[in-house]
Amino acid sequence: MALVKMSRILEWAQENNCAAGAFSVGNMEMVIGAVRAAEEANTPIILQIAEKRLKQSPLDLMAPMMVSAAKNASVPVAVHLDHGLTMDCIRQALSYGFTSVMLDASLLPFEENIAMTKAVKAEAATFGATVEAELGVVGGNEGDTAKHEILCTDPDKAKIFCEETQVDCLAVAIGNAHGNYPVLPSLRFDVLEEIDKTVDTPLVLHGGTGITPEMFRKAISLGIRKINIATASFDALANAAKAYTADVESPDYFTLSPKMADAVYENVKKHIGIFRNQ
Ligand code: 13P
């Protein structure tokens, strides 16, 4: 049984001065590839899916697969709802056995974000689950949501937010964005440093696709303990499918499936090495 609370993985990251990779999945091949990479690297990971992705990958199908893969893994694996938007979805994920949920109320006014985060903390506590919240606005879009302008997290507000909500980890906005960056972003490490000085809560970096190893290492040195990777894995899978189907006259699923899993495995393996400062 290797399904663990996300708080345990955050503690591991803190003790090892590294970050845990949180890898988004949307089908069986992605789950298989990500867990294989974690097992080979003997490193805990977080498997996650965002509420907006459930249209393509329904929770009633994904959740049992993710939870089962975690339970059977030889390394600790947390199963996490990424960007939970509704209490209904958060409750469903918790009842399927997710060990962690994120509430994304970052577009709401500060006080409302605090109130909703407190409500999610109370709900998650009945399941012994971990809670992530977001303050400030991460750019880009997750799923089919509209694109957002970046709004950096205010360190003083982060302190109040963490004290009031007692949230287990906090996603920060420091110039990061979801999706492929059109140009390499200039992350606001000065803002991250201030937040790290002001709050004790483990910090989360969204929008990991396209960030350089040097930037990841700098972010980890300034308190980032969880890093989200989605687009790079989805793109790796889609490109593997494209390369295989372009190459053969009669593509078959049974050859394609392991190729997709391998592509995700390679991407997850690469990021695990960077996040462990190897
Ligand atoms: P990317 O799609 O940029 O990797 O971002 C992932 C993420 O932050 C999911 O919440």
CA of 60 to the centre of ligand 1 (A): 22
Contact 47, 34 (CB under 8 A): yes
Active site residue 82: yes
- Residue 133 CB contacts under 8 Å (≥ 6 apart), including other chains: 102, 103, 104, 105, 113, 117, 120, 161, 165, 167, 170, 171
Write down the residue that tokens 């440093």 correspond to: 193
pTM score of the predicted model = 0.96
Residues with CB under 6 A from ligand 1: 24, 50, 82-83, 142, 178-179, 206-209, 228-232
Any idea where the domains of the chain sit in the sequence? 6-275
Contact 170, 191 (CB under 8 A): no
CA distance readout (Å), 113 to 41, 122, 243:
37, 14, 44
Atom 1 of ligand 1, nearest CA residue: 207
Q: 6-275 has which fold?
A: TIM Barrel (3.20.20)
- Residue 239 CB contacts under 8 Å (≥ 6 apart), including other chains: 263
Q: Report the residue among 83, 169, 215, 229 best suited for mutation to probe ligand 1: largest number of ligand atoms under 8 A from its CB.
A: 229
What are the pLDDT tens digits along the chain (278 aa)? 599 999 999 999 999 999 999 999 999 999 999 999 999 999 999 999 999 999 999 999 999 999 999 999 999 999 999 999 999 999 999 999 999 999 999 999 999 999 999 999 999 999 999 999 999 988 876 655 566 777 899 999 999 999 999 999 999 999 999 999 999 999 999 999 999 999 999 999 999 999 999 999 999 999 999 999 999 999 999 999 999 999 899 999 999 999 999 999 999 999 999 999 87
